[in-house]
Amino acid sequence: MTKTPTPARDAPIAGTHIFDGDAAACGLELNAMCYSFNDGANRAAFLADEDAYCARFALSAAQREAVASRNVLAMIAAGGNIYYLAKLAGIFGLSVQDVGAQQTGMSVDAFKAMLLDQAGQIKSREAQHG
Amino acid sequence: MAEIIGGYFTSHVPAIGGAIHKGLKADPYWKPFFDGYPPVHEWLAKARPDVAVVFYNDHGLNFFLDKMPTFAVGAARRYDNADEGWGLPLFKSFEGHVPLSWHIIEQLVDDEFDITTCQKMLVDHALSIPFELAYPDASVWPVKLVPIAINTVQHPLPSAKRCLALGRAVNKALASWGGNERIVVIGTGGLSHQLDGERAGFINAEYDSFCLDNLAGDPDALTHDSVHEIVRLAGTQGVEVLNWIAARGALGLGAAREIHRNYHIPISNTAAATLLLEPA
């Protein structure tokens, strides 16, 4: 898929994937499948026969591989939007901390500790600004 | 004449709903967050709003990406929650305020906002959780609802400047409404957080403070950053601050006074905030 030229002011943000038109176009089938998981019967159908369920939504090879390997960054690279991917993650009982840990290459405990440690930002601001 | 009693701003992280259902408000992880709400309860008990105009973003319940409105105004008789994919207990339904919805729609289109109107609209956790937090003991919601959904999901998103202008146009509509309702304006979401990518877990207390410090007195200060810059500063999902900016606009051009603020890191992956403003 051709990437639309990015205006100069939109310099890339490290570790950040903007869900724009290119991503939305690329990810439509994957996101449509995830959207279907709003229905419990569809979640059950996915769990009962994942291959057949993915085939119904005509996932691309990259999307199917990303889902099969439960690889969130690969799903995002294949156009997945995190709000929709969260519905898929829920089927496996995964929280946004589990998903965050996987994407950052941390253990879940380390990722949760990192979030808790960010409370230090408040203290250091108070120390700076009184 | 209708009166705008003020603005209530809050994070809407799905896990908050889980904590409420599991009775975890006093749990050490959750307490600093839930401690931000008794002042909200007291304020609402005193101000007694009977209508809520709520700016929020849908997370793939009512809108799929096949049709994604930039601004959508509800004009339904009733708004239901539904399964968002996790099979959680459903949130209570809302009664709509159909005539006020259409009055707002008329004003917005008059002001050249090309909005989408929804006579059927499911509302997700982003709309429901703020009410669960505000009215923990309610068996039915004591307010009628006008929901306004802003696209914070699929870029391009509306600019902060445009969201503030949208809110200000809603304020014009509320000011010219002939009823005698007491109206609370609500903005939901944020503050800084990022769920996706290698930067997942990003939080920025400095930028959140900038937003909280300026929302009352100088909301235009929040409109100088492009959406891309807001993503850089607040995280990919921190752009939900657009809902807060729009809601601040709906309080009007005049000054606003901060009544209450709570800020806590983290709730789930998010810097959670609660804010009450009154027209000065």
pLDDT tens for residues A77-89? 999 999 999 999 9
A122 within some domain: yes
Same domain? For A51 and A33 the reply is: yes
Task: Tell me what pLDDT residue A8 has.
Answer: 54
- Please give the backbone phi and psi of residue A86, each rounded to the nearest 5 degrees, phi first: -65, -30
- pLDDT class of A7 with cuts at 50, 70, 90: low
Would you tell me which residues 47-86 of chain A have a C-beta closer than 8 angstroms to some C-beta of chain B?
72-73, 76, 81-86
Contact B200 A39 (CB under 8 A): no
CB B159, CB B200: distance < 8 Å = no
Task: Tell me what pLDDT residue A110 has.
Answer: 97
Contact B266 A122 (CB under 8 A): no
What proportion of chain B, given as a percentage, has pLDDT over 70? 100
Q: Mutation test of the interface with chain B: which of A31, A121, A125, A129, choosing the one with the most B Cβ atoms within 10 A?
A: A121
Give the Å distances, CA to CA, from B216 to B6, B186, B210, B258.
11, 14, 11, 6
Determine whether B193 is an active site residue.
yes
Give the active site residue among B59, B97, B103, B193. Answer: B193
Residues of chain A positioned with their CB less than 8 A from the CB of B228: 9-10, 13, 18
Same domain? For A24 and A88 the reply is: yes
Contact A38 B198 (CB under 8 A): no
CB B62, CB B118: distance < 8 Å = yes
Contact A9 B228 (CB under 8 A): yes
Same domain? For A65 and A125 the reply is: no
CB B56, CB B189: distance < 8 Å = yes
ipTM: 0.96
Least CB-CB distance to A16: which of B82, B203, B231? B231
A124 within some domain: yes
Report the domain count for chain A: 2
Same domain? For A73 and A60 the reply is: yes
- Please give the backbone phi and psi of residue B30, each rounded to the nearest 5 degrees, phi first: -95, -25
Our CA angle for B16, A74, B68, nearest 5°, is 60
Model pTM? 0.97
Phi/psi region, residue B22 (left: phi>0; alpha: psi -120 to 50; beta: rest), is: alpha
Same domain? For A77 and A36 the reply is: yes
Span B36-49, mean pLDDT?
98
Residue A128 belongs to what domain range?
Answer: 95-130
Same domain? For A59 and A40 the reply is: yes
d(CA B73, CA B71): 7
Distance from the Cα of A58 to chain B's closest Cα (Å) equals: 16
Contact A103 B196 (CB under 8 A): yes
Contact B236 A21 (CB under 8 A): no
Task: Tell me what pLDDT residue B2 has.
Answer: 92
Same domain? For A129 and A74 the reply is: no
A48 within some domain: yes
**Domains of chain B listed by start with CATH number:** 3-279 (3.40.830.10)
- Among A8-22, A57-71, B25-39, B93-107, the least confident range: A8-22
d(CA A121, CA B187): 24
For B248-270, what is each residue's pLDDT tens digit? Answer: 999 999 999 999 999 999 999 99
Nearest residue of chain A to residue B87 (CA atoms) = A40
CB B46, CB B259: distance < 8 Å = no
What proportion of chain B, given as a percentage, has pLDDT over 90? 99
A1 within some domain: no
**Res. A130: pLDDT tops 80:** no
The whole-chain average pLDDT of chain B stands at 97
Span A36-59, mean pLDDT?
98
Q: Residue A49: which CATH number? A: 1.10.700.10
A2 within some domain: no
Same domain? For A80 and A23 the reply is: yes
d(CA B245, CA B55): 9
